[in-house]
Structure 1
Amino acid sequence: MKTSDWWKQSVVYQIYPKSFNDSNGDGIGDIQGIIEKLDYLKKLGIDVIWLSPIYDSPQDDNGYDIRDYRKIFTQYGDMESFDRLLQEVHARNMKLVMDLVVNHTSDEHEWFEASRASKDSPYRDYYFWRDEENTNNWGSIFGGPAWQLDEETGEYYLHLFSKKQPDLNWENANLRQDVYDMMTFWLDKGIDGFRMDVINFISKNTDFPDGPVKNGDLYGDPENNFCNGPRVHEFLREMNREVLGKYDIMTVGEMPGASIEDAQIYTDPKNREVDMIFTFEHMNLDSDGENKWDLKTLYLPDLKKNMAAWQNGLQETGWNSLYWNNHDQPRIVSRFGNDGAYRVRSAKMLATCLHMMKGTPYIYQGEEIGMTNVHFNDLADYQDIETLNMYRDRIEQGFSHDAIMKSIYTKGRDNARTPFQWDSSENAGFTTGTPWLKVNPRYVEINSEAALQDDDSIFYYYQTLIRLRKEIPAVVYGSFKLLLPKHEAIFAYERQLDGEKLVTICNFSAEAQRIEDEQLLTDIARGQVLITNLEDTDSNVLEAYQAIVYKI
């Protein structure tokens, strides 16, 4: 049972195993490689490691297509190496959270193989099957149609992602019990919680209505018919009764399409669903419309308005997760910062802005050294299924190659998946072999070895932010108030707890900004600098990408 809300005071570090550290020279990161770098993570100061999927998988979607939930992907290691990893993490007083992927499986999972074998199989209803007349016009999130013909029985199965990722039918009570048994298997090993992949997709509108076709798209938009469905709260509360509530763990639900009002229900402790969710609204603000590949420049007041709404919406009930990056999102310093002349300074500014908010911060591997997006000239150098499918669909829709590549350079998921840059040796010290995905050429300049040797590096700045969160209760529990909501370059807010006030001021632009707000100037004059990414400057002026936090 839960004994405390330890996850509120924690900082989480996400590891994408395939790209983290390769210990055996096969070009793919592995569990032993993670073990070798645990002291690096301990030095950073993080509390929790979130491990992206390491389960047995054909790797159609880099492990999010699971073939066997109780077996480790061979190229990552085996169960013995996982048990050793868990032991080594706990020996360093850190915790380990696993990825829970139960909206779908691989089409090579034994449940699906039994399901597709016959219409009379007891596993048939573990998935969604329809004859052609009863399918709809939905498109897959990864491109193409969401229904795939299986010639063995002549019916179509639903896949919201790859056609090798058939969606599970949570309406089936036997399926749910099998999932709960699997979750118990891992929790009994001693893991410390789950990050729950697209968990709000598990309840769907099983009438499967057609969706509107927008902007010349090839397929209909499912809209809200596959997320936050009619039974999702029932399923999550049952999951808590059957499994989660019996352990002292943390849970974070990835929930695309969840509103603040949805999150208040999902994360309200009395509802016993999840501890926090990942929202996506702030990650869509540099998209022109609903399609992430249609680009526009971020308008800072939109970002401030959105993040403040989430801070205020979950201020009294529930809890926020705080993130800029993950395995699905491009590198934040290339996205909302400046990955050229101001790479170091803007990376520190973005870290400051996020880590001083209320919620549990998540650091994605490489964020702490300022890794950047990558520009591969050849489409063949990209591996991500979403990217490759989008390219095919957009060529079919008449987009130019150059326009599509610009979208990939800005938003493609492989930006986050290039191998971790450990040092300036060949392949960035990630592998002695040929890496599964090309290394970002900037590794010579941007790597952790160089960061650890530089007292003023992004790494040590993150280390200080993590320490401040542990030392100052107001960082964890203080109220939130947005300042200067309409300013187009400055993101400022205050946190208050028990008479103590913290003021965070961040310049999101490459131009100096004069502070003119009288109350803010009064606070600055009275305040003590807790942390800043640029020393010895005029206190009334923010230099390019400067960040500063005052304790009042």
Structure 2
Amino acid sequence: MRDYRKVLREFGTMDDFDRLLEEARSRNIRLIIDLVLNHTSDQHEWFVKSRTGRDSSKRNYYIWRDGSGGVPNNFPSFFGGSAWQKDDISGDYYLHYFAKEQPDLNWDNPCVRADIFDIMRFWLDKGVAGFRLDVIPFISKDQAFPDLTPEQLQAPEFTYSDGPHVHDYLQEMNRKVLAHYDAMTVGEAYGVTDAKAPLFVNEDRRELNMLISFDVVRLDRNGWRKTDWNLPALKAVYSRLDKTIGASGWNAIFLSNHDNPRAVSHFGDDTPEFRVKSAKALATLLLTLRGTPFIYQGEELGMTNFPFRHVEEFDDIEVKGQWAEHVLRGKVSPEYFISHLRQTSRDHARTPMQWNGTANAGFTSAEKPWFAVNPNYSEINAEADLAHEDSIYRYFQRLIALRRSKLALTYGDYVDLDPAHERLFVYTREFGADRLLVAVNFSREPELLGLPAMGAPWDLLLTNLSGRADKVLSSEIQLAPWESVVMGISGD
């Protein structure tokens, strides 16, 4: 963030933003914005002044350590190398959990907090409905900066998210800013364990409304390495999150975002035969679990991972740092590294949106877009999906309409009926007399599902496959490969 009160020139002007806000409001859409408060750009005026010397009025806005000795401690940056950068201008080290161009702010300085709160008021007064708070658990640091143990170095995010004053600062933010507005907050909770998540979202603590937990999307990750996952493990994460956060707060439900691969390539089956079916099945999961669903751009079209082959094709600064750390130092082969990045890279989610089948997927009229377009854009694009009633996009619309019509899908209790089943994800959502059952077949084979006896037949409310004849069911249902169903009790 170079200037928190301006719009990046490539995205337009503040007048453009104000018009966007007005048009959204006229359509009953509430707009939240991304706010990065752990770090700024090194081009921000605070940092420019901070690096001029130890006597600078902004010096204590960032975390500096004496440069006459060695690196202050062994903290690693998420993008490779040390989290400490020796500054050419001042000769001292400054802390950066991410890129060296992103110095971390010193939240222990009350002036920093006051300025940040003013920035939040600026956007709330303008009319935004709240914030997605980037890596918000990292804002508090142990100023003694002890070295990480070998175990902590394997996953430093859990130490970085456990600062001594993080909850004090979030409660202050709520007390001084958020409590005075009808505002919603969702915190990116990288490094926050299940056990500690309620500390951020318990209503009585007055901190945040929701957390974006990474436990689902990082289920099969070891850093940049791809590992195996299975359905019982996925279900266990959702049950755990529902039990810990859901008891006193609220969950954010998502299967992909800008930092993770495409959902249908990750958890579904992106082959030509099953891409549409599995994308709809995952949509069923997304919009019927307990919590607020987050739909990432392109997910409603079933956009897939990009077919990366060479490291030069990646744009992500994290990949470049990892390549230098692991490949150039001879720790792993280039082939091994690329084989994993083809499954785990966040660049998969950053290819241009596929609007239509024209050049560059209709994303830009320029000769070349900022990043490569997925070559399957002629088949997978918004224009094509809008033209067909049986498309993924149209199925999302039907799911959203069903969710709005059934209070149980918002407020209902969640119970996993068969946690150990390796192919079926089956659960109930109940709120008062509103009783629903959701079943998703996570396989290429048909699966027989026995229905729980509830004293009345089950009505089939929605399926992701066309042509199902049986609309009222009493004892069992045969689910086709990658079929999902939502059922309700007859007469409710």
Residue in structure 2 matched with residue 351 of structure 1 by the alignment:
283
Q: Does 1:383 align with 2:318?
A: no
Q: Does 1:371 align with 2:303?
A: yes
**Deviation digits for residues 247-279 of structure 1, max 9, x if unmatched?**
111110111121233222211222111111101
Residue in structure 2 matched with residue 39 of structure 1 by the alignment:
none
SS of the equivalent of 1:208 reads coil
Shift in alpha-carbon separation, 1:398–1:549, aligned structure 2, 3 A: same
Shift in alpha-carbon separation, 1:422–1:363, aligned structure 2, 3 A: same
Shift in alpha-carbon separation, 1:195–1:253, aligned structure 2, 3 A: same
Residue in structure 2 matched with residue 121 of structure 1 by the alignment:
56
Give the whole-Å Cα distance in 1 for the aligned partners of 2:286 and 2:27: 26
SS of the equivalent of 1:491 reads strand
Give 1:223 deviation, angstroms: 5.4
Counterpart contact for 1:251–1:274, Cα < 8 Å? yes
**Deviation digits for residues 357-410 of structure 1, max 9, x if unmatched?**
111100000000000000132322221111221122220242111111111111
Q: Does 1:148 align with 2:85?
A: yes
Q: Does 1:501 align with 2:435?
A: yes
Choose the corresponding residue for 1:399, options 318, 332, 337: 332
Counterpart contact for 2:464–2:483, Cα < 8 Å? yes
Shift in alpha-carbon separation, 1:157–1:343, aligned structure 2, 3 A: same
Moved over 4 A (4+): none
Q: What letter matches 1:367 in structure 2? A: E
Q: What letter matches 1:528 in structure 2? A: D
Give the whole-Å Cα distance in 2 for the aligned partners of 1:521 and 1:163: 56
Shift in alpha-carbon separation, 1:438–1:523, aligned structure 2, 3 A: farther
Note the 1:104-503 alignment, pairs <5 A.
104-131=39-66, 132-133=69-70, 135-213=72-150, 222=156, 224-287=158-221, 291-340=222-271, 341-395=273-327, 396-433=329-366, 434-503=368-437
Q: What letter matches 1:439 in structure 2? A: V
Give 1:235 deviation, angstroms: 0.3
Q: TM-score, normalised by structure 1?
A: 0.84
Residue in structure 2 matched with residue 75 of structure 1 by the alignment:
10
Give 1:114 deviation, angstroms: 0.7
Choose the corresponding residue for 1:531, options 432, 443, 462: 462
SS of the equivalent of 1:224 reads helix
Counterpart contact for 1:213–1:221, Cα < 8 Å? no
Higher relative contact order (CA 8 A, sep 6+): 1
Give 5+ residue unaligned stretches, structure 2: 471-475
Equivalenced residue count is 478
Shift in alpha-carbon separation, 1:450–1:523, aligned structure 2, 3 A: farther
Give the whole-Å Cα distance in 1 for the aligned partners of 2:339 and 2:121: 44
Give the whole-Å Cα distance in 1 for the aligned partners of 2:443 and 2:120: 45
Give the whole-Å Cα distance in 2 for the aligned partners of 1:541 and 1:94: 39
**Deviation digits for residues 79-130 of structure 1, max 9, x if unmatched?**
1111111111111110110111010000111111111111111211111111
Residue in structure 1 matched with residue 37 of structure 2 by the alignment:
102
Give the whole-Å Cα distance in 2 for the aligned partners of 1:330 and 1:358: 23
Give the whole-Å Cα distance in 2 for the aligned partners of 1:474 and 1:92: 26
Between stretches 246-255 and 399-408, larger displacement belongs to 399-408
Shift in alpha-carbon separation, 1:390–1:174, aligned structure 2, 3 A: same
Q: Alignment identity in percent?
A: 46
Give the whole-Å Cα distance in 1 for the aligned partners of 2:242 and 2:338: 35
Counterpart contact for 2:225–2:341, Cα < 8 Å? no
Q: What letter matches 1:491 in structure 2? A: F
Counterpart contact for 2:439–2:484, Cα < 8 Å? yes
**Deviation digits for residues 491-517 of structure 1, max 9, x if unmatched?**
1111111122111111111122222x5
Give the whole-Å Cα distance in 1 for the aligned partners of 2:456 and 2:325: 56
Give the whole-Å Cα distance in 2 for the aligned partners of 1:530 and 1:523: 16
Shift in alpha-carbon separation, 1:469–1:194, aligned structure 2, 3 A: same
Give the whole-Å Cα distance in 2 for the aligned partners of 1:210 and 1:511: 51
Give the whole-Å Cα distance in 2 for the aligned partners of 1:320 and 1:378: 37
Shift in alpha-carbon separation, 1:389–1:501, aligned structure 2, 3 A: same
Shift in alpha-carbon separation, 1:524–1:342, aligned structure 2, 3 A: farther
Q: TM-score, normalised by structure 2?
A: 0.94
Counterpart contact for 1:490–1:507, Cα < 8 Å? yes
Q: What letter matches 1:333 in structure 2? A: V
SS of the equivalent of 2:161 reads coil
Shift in alpha-carbon separation, 1:221–1:317, aligned structure 2, 3 A: closer
Give the whole-Å Cα distance in 2 for the aligned partners of 1:400 and 1:285: 24
Shift in alpha-carbon separation, 1:349–1:382, aligned structure 2, 3 A: same
Give the whole-Å Cα distance in 1 for the aligned partners of 2:410 and 2:171: 27
RMSD of aligned residue pairs (Cα, Å): 1.7
Give 5+ residue unaligned stretches, structure 1: 1-65
**Deviation digits for residues 425-463 of structure 1, max 9, x if unmatched?**
110011111100010000010001000011000001111
Counterpart contact for 1:137–1:211, Cα < 8 Å? yes
Shift in alpha-carbon separation, 1:429–1:523, aligned structure 2, 3 A: farther
SS of the equivalent of 1:152 reads coil
SS of the equivalent of 2:216 reads helix
Choose the corresponding residue for 1:89, options 24, 35, 45: 24
